[in-house]
């Protein structure tokens, strides 16, 4: 791929279709990705929707989100009524005022994602960590939400 000169569009979040090559990239994505993937990543339909996984084992829910290039203090994680919300703002790390922009594919600005958890979690025991651009949130289930096994003796 060549380094192609890129012009900054007037609006920060406007799809960057100023160049034919950008339009071609977008059409390529259309054929390469499954539809759900497209709606999530396409610049046509949204700003930035970080990819997210939710896992469950018998004690915890684990949520992993890809948030490359953030500062820890710019990530907000809240839990309200069984709904986990991850939001924040990504700011450009370096200033490039006198620089020419050749490619601008990274998104800077605010994002938000919410996950409704299937069972109750212990809000005071939720833990979050951020490494290599991946946010990991561990949400322990409350005792009454864990599956229970009762021995029934059959006579």
Partner 1 sequence: MKFMKALLKNESQSEINHARNRQFITPDVNIYETKDGYVLEAEMSGVNKDGLSVTLEGHEITIIGTRTVEAEPGEALFRERQNADYRRVFELDPAIDTERISARMNQGVLFLTLPKSEAVKPRVIKVDE
CB of 67 to partner 1, least distance (A): 7
Nearest CB to partner 1, comparing residues 14 and 55: 55
| Site residues for partner 1 per CB under 8 A | 1-3, 6, 36-37, 40, 51-58, 60-62, 64, 66-70, 93-94, 96, 98-107, 115, 118, 130-134, 138
Reduced to 3 states (helix: H, G, I; strand: E, B; else coil), residue 1 is: coil
Q: How far apart are CA 85 and CA 82, in angstroms?
A: 10
Q: Judged by CB, which is closer to partner 1: 40, or 123?
A: 40
Residue 142: alpha-carbon gap to chain centroid: 26
CA atoms within 13 A on the CB side of 154: 0
Closer CB to partner 1, 1 or 150, in the complex = 1
CB of 124 to partner 1, least distance (A): 20
Closest approach, Cβ 149 to partner 1, in A, equals: 18
User: For partner 1, which is the closer residue by CB, 54 or 145?
Assistant: 54
Compute how many other C-beta atoms are within 10 angstroms of the C-beta atom of residue 8.
11
Least distance from C-beta 77 to partner 1, angstroms?
A: 16
**Would you say 53 or 89 has its CB closer to partner 1?**
53
CB 139 within 8 A of CB 61: yes
28, 32, 26, 8: which is closest to 18 by C-alpha?
8
Question: Residues 115, 52: contact at Cβ < 8 Å?
Answer: yes
Tokens linked to 124: 């005071």
Minimum CB separation of residue 134 from partner 1 in Å reads: 5
């Amino acid at each position: 791929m060549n380094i192609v000169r890129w012009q900054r569009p007037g609006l920060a979040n406007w799809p960057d279709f100023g160049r034919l090559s950008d339009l071609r990239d977008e059409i390529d994505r259309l054929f390469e990705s499954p539809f759900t993937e497209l709606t999530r990543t396409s610049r046509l339909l949204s700003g930035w929707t970080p990819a997210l996984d939710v896992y469950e084992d018998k004690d915890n829910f684990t949520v992993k989100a890809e948030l490359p290039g953030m500062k820890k203090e710019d990530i907000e994680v809240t839990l309200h009524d069984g709904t986990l919300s991850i939001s924040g703002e990504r700011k450009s790390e370096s200033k490039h005022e006198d620089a020419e922009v050749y490619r601008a594919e990274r998104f800077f600005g605010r994002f938000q994602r919410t996950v409704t958890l299937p069972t109750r979690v212990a809000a005071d025991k939720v833990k979050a960590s951020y490494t290599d651009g991946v946010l990991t949130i561990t949400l322990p289930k409350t005792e009454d939400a864990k599956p229970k096994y009762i021995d029934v003796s059959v006579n």
